[in-house]
Chain A
């Protein structure tokens, strides 16, 4: 608008100014046609607006959806909302595994270079400060903090530190900051900043923790350390269950992560722009049937005995007779799930369920159950037991050499005579094949050769061949517990079955689950099956008393003053897992108390002991210690009943 006038100003001195004469002499000056100008402007403007409108149409209608999608990619940010992993508690609610907040301490090594930190040895100094807090050797930290070249902007110094540790680091850094920006240091730091990479300051003036950061993380903690770690298992570095119940119930414990989507601009949430949130579903809490105190006592007892006997490993299982719940399942040696790095990988399993071994004499109870239930003998039946017995080309003998003995059937069990047991088992059928068939049916009903129903990862079902495949000698060894394999829970369950009046209750390890809604859902009632009659079970309980109470019995070390105890020793030849040949022993004792009104079954198994090998000697004291503790914990008083006192000899 001013352009036409501007050239006139410098030419100011020109005498005839254009405008005043223009007013008077308009007729003489020829103006350009305004119509043409207007038309030109209109066309020009029209063209411009058409372009605008075209672009608008293109943006709003033609490319709209594609552009909107492209914008949304940047506008909407989706973050994952991690679900809280459920806890694992014992039967009374004591927490055995839980998840807590933790921080990963990280650093930017670039910020520790002399150019950035303004001192030459920042990594070493920072490492010396952090090492006691993080529990990582200073040399390792210094190496992590040393800048190795372009792109080295991240170092993970320590994973899953407690909030307290991070607070200590923050406090330390705050102190350094205060020091660096006060007094003479303030001036030094300002000078160094101006000097850039070449600036240097006094070591005491540097905030060497400036490049230390933290990331949110979670950590699985097991407050009681190695307590029941064989059952509970552990989680891997990603927090996913990788062993034991943590693995078996991983999906249930983990819950479901949620997502949150929000509009963002420059990293900040845009208010009122809307967004969507799919909340996380917290993991469920699992309540076990284990009793923490009994578990602890069992673990103490078996750990001490395995050590004293120089054994490879040992297991103790405590089961409630009346409902099949497992009160304790301890193994030794164990591991601390809080410190997997230090754990021996061989000890991370749960051999009480995963190790199949030949049970030996504890298995004679099933043979006796079959003999009594089939009515082919009574506890008082006379058995003449020779010193040796030839069957299928094999000479069988008893653990302790003897001449011909006159034992009752009760005495055969009390003294754990292999020969007597073979003779009794032969009575089960008119032919050996039929007798095998009958024995097999009882073993199966007792749960041998079958999974326990726990569904525990890596659980073994043991080995029990069908009778048609029993070899010549196997048909004589199976009655006394060699030539078949079981896990410790299977044999425990056999004794609980007899203790429970002949009804087998499937063992359970999980009492119930508390879902994200806070509702506790008890586990379904376990399956119950009758194996032998109540009368047979009562008779067997009486016979098992002789094992412990009789002076000729093998289990006298399991006696508990004031209580009637029923139990059976086992001293089996063990198959060496590496060579597959018999080498060493499996020593065991399984029993229940009170014998006349059973409440608790305790089993103890010790594999490959070096100092001693008799089941009664090694496992008897363990049984006694754990049983006494369990009776006390569960407040089971003695019944005051009379001992069965069945005769051993005739």
Chain B
């Protein structure tokens, strides 16, 4: 009887310990994973930001042969033109 109680207690204690350790292992693993994913997300975000920054957008647009728009003009739904649209001089707006 006593032996049973003792061994039962011992096994119980062992299992409790294992469970606690298991939890802490899992916690550490998940924390590690969170850090990795956060780092990755921040890295990607910075990459997006550097691509969408006005400086790089303008450079890429210029690389594609685009030029700044110059004086704006608007086309209404009914076909009326607001403003004085004029073709841009080659190589850039604000002519």
On A, residues with C-beta under 8 Å from B are 95, 100-101, 162-164, 221, 223-225, 227, 269, 271-272, 292-293, 296, 560-563, 621, 624-625, 628-629, 631-632, 635, 637-638, 640
Q: Is the CB of A637 within 8 A of B49?
A: no
Q: Is B14 among interface residues, defined by CB-CB distance under 8 A?
A: no
Question: A561 contacts B46, CB within 8 Å?
Answer: no
The 6 closest A-B pairs by CB, nearest first: A223-B49, A163-B39, A562-B83, A562-B84, A296-B54, A632-B72
A621 to B53, CA, bound (A): 25
A100-B46 contact given A560-B71, A632-B69, CB 8 Å threshold: yes
> Judging by beta carbons under 8 Å apart, are B39 and A562 in contact?
no
Min Cβ gap B66→A in Å is 14
Contact A223 B71 (CB under 8 A): no
Asked whether B74 lies within 8 Å of A95 as measured between CB atoms, the reply is: no
Whether A638 lies near B82 (C-beta < 8 A) is yes
Given contacts A292-B54, A625-B94, contact A224 B49 (CB under 8 A): yes
28 contacts across the A-B interface (CB closer than 8 A):
A101-B35, A101-B38, A101-B42, A164-B43, A223-B46, A223-B49, A223-B53, A224-B49, A224-B54, A225-B55, A227-B55, A269-B24, A271-B23, A271-B24, A560-B71, A561-B71, A561-B83, A563-B71, A625-B94, A628-B69, A628-B70, A628-B71, A628-B72, A635-B74, A637-B72, A637-B83, A638-B82, A638-B83
A637 touches B82 (CB 8 A): yes
List residues of chain B with CB within 8 A of the CB of A629: 68-69
Q: How many residues of B contact A (CB 8 A)?
A: 30
Looking at the complex, which one of B23, B54, B84 makes contact with A561 (CB distance below 8 Å)?
A: B84
In the complex, chain B residues whose CB is within 8 Å of the CB of A101: 35, 38-39, 42
B39 touches A561 (CB 8 A): no
> Which residue of B has the minimal Cβ distance to A166?
B39
In the bound complex, CA of A579 to CA of B42 (Å): 49
CA distance A244 to B39 in the complex (A): 28
Chain B contacts for A562, CB-based, 8 A: 71, 73, 82-85
- B86 contacts A by Cβ under 8 Å: yes
Inter-chain contact A95/B49, CB cutoff 8 Å: yes
Question: Closest Cβ of chain B: how far from A493's Cβ, in Å?
Answer: 25
B50 at the A/B interface (Cβ < 8 Å)?
yes
Judge whether A163 and B53 touch: CB under 8 Å. no
* Contact partners of A164 in chain B: CB under 8 A: 39, 43
Give the chain A neighbours of B72 by CB distance below 8 A: 628, 631-632, 637
Shortest Cβ distance from A95 into B: residue: B49
Please determine whether A621 and B84 come into contact, CB atoms closer than 8 angstroms: no
The answer to whether A225 and B46 have CB atoms under 8 Å apart is: no
Q: Does the CB pair B20–A271 fall under 8 Å? A: yes
Question: Whole-angstrom distance between the alpha carbons of A353 and B27 in the complex?
Answer: 51
Q: Taking A223-B50, A296-B55, A637-B74 as given, write out 4 further A-B residue pairs in contact, using a Cβ cutoff of 8 Å, ordered by the A residue number.
A: A101-B42, A271-B20, A296-B54, A638-B74
Q: What residues of chain A lie closer than 8 Å to B46, measured between beta carbons? A: 100, 221, 223
A-B contact count (CB 8 A): 75
Give chain A residues whose Cβ lies under 8 Å from the Cβ of B54: 224, 227, 292-293, 296
Q: Are B43 and A162 in contact (CB under 8 A)?
A: yes
Residues on B with C-beta less than 8 A from A560 are 71
- B70 vs chain A, min Cβ distance (A): 7
Return the chain A residue nearest B20 by Cβ. Answer: A271
Contacts of A624 in B (CB 8 A): 94
> Which B residues touch A640, using CB under 8 A?
82
Q: Within 8 Å CB of A100, what residues of B?
A: 42, 46
> Pick the contact of A225 from B38, B53, B58 — CB < 8 Å?
B53
Bound: A626/B24 CA distance, A: 59
In the complex, how many angstroms separate the beta carbon of A133 from the nearest chain B beta carbon? 15
**How many angstroms between the C-alpha atoms of A632 and B72 in the bound complex?**
6
CB neighbours (8 Å) of B83 from chain A are 561-563, 637-638
Output the least CB separation between A89 and chain B (Å).
12
Please name the residue on chain A nearest to B69 by beta carbon: A632
Q: How far is the CA of A271 from the CA of B19 in the complex (A)?
A: 11
Q: Which residues of A contact B71 (CB under 8 A)?
A: 560-563, 628
Question: How many whole Å from B9's CB to the nearest CB in chain A?
Answer: 17
**A624 to B, closest residue via Cβ:** B94
Whether B43 pairs with A224 at a CB distance below 8 angstroms is no
0/1 per residue, B24-65, Cβ < 8 Å to A? 100000000001001110110010011001110010000000
Chain A residues positioned under 8 Å from B86 (CB to CB) = 561
Nearest CB of chain A from residue B23's CB, rounded to whole Å: 8
Instruction: Please tell me if the beta carbons of A224 and B39 are within 8 angstroms of each other in the complex.
Output: no
Residue numbers in A under 8 Å from B40 (CB-CB): 163
Residues from chain B with a CB closer than 8 A to the CB of A271 are 20, 23-24
Task: State how many angstroms separate the Cβ of B62 from the closest Cβ of chain A.
Answer: 12
Q: Closest approach, in angstroms, between the C-beta of A599 and any C-beta of chain B? A: 12
Interface centre among B40, B74, B93 (most CB of A within 10 A): B74
Report the bound CA distance from A563 to B84 in whole Å: 8
Nearest residue (CB) in B for A292 is: B54
What are the residues of chain A within 8 A of B50 when measuring CB–CB?
A: 223
Question: Do the beta carbons of A628 and B53 come within 8 Å of each other?
Answer: no
Determine the residue in chain A with the shortest Cβ distance to B36: A163
CA distance A621 to B83 in the complex (A): 19
CB contacts (< 8 Å) of A223 on chain B: these are 46, 49-50, 53
A224–B72 Cα distance when bound, in Å, is 26
Shortest CB–CB separation between residue A2 and chain B, in angstroms? 29
A464 CA to B70 CA, complexed, in Å: 39
Measured CB to CB, the closest approach of chain A to B19, in angstroms, equals 10
Residues from chain B with Cβ under 8 Å of A221 in the complex: 46
A163/B73 in contact, CB under 8 A: no
Distance (Å) between the CB of A632 and the closest chain B CB?
4
Chain B minimum-CB-distance residue to A559 = B71
* Docked CA distance A640–B43 (Å): 49
- Set of chain A residues within 8 Å of B94, measured between Cβ atoms: 621, 624-625, 628
Return the chain B residue nearest A164 by Cβ.
B43
Q: How far is the CA of A163 from the CA of B24 in the complex (A)?
A: 24
The minimal Cβ–Cβ distance linking B74 to chain A, given in whole angstroms, is 4
The residues of B that contact A635 with a CB separation of less than 8 Å are 74
Chain B nearest CB: distance from A558 CB in Å? Answer: 12
With both chains docked as a complex, state the minimum distance between the C-beta of A163 and any C-beta of chain B, in angstroms. 4
Q: How far is the CA of A638 from the CA of B84 in the complex (A)?
A: 9
Q: Name, among A631, A635, A638, the residue most crowded by chain B CB atoms within 10 Å (CB to CB).
A: A638
Q: How far is the CA of A272 from the CA of B23 in the complex (A)?
A: 12
Distance of A223 Cα from B72 Cα, bound (Å): 29
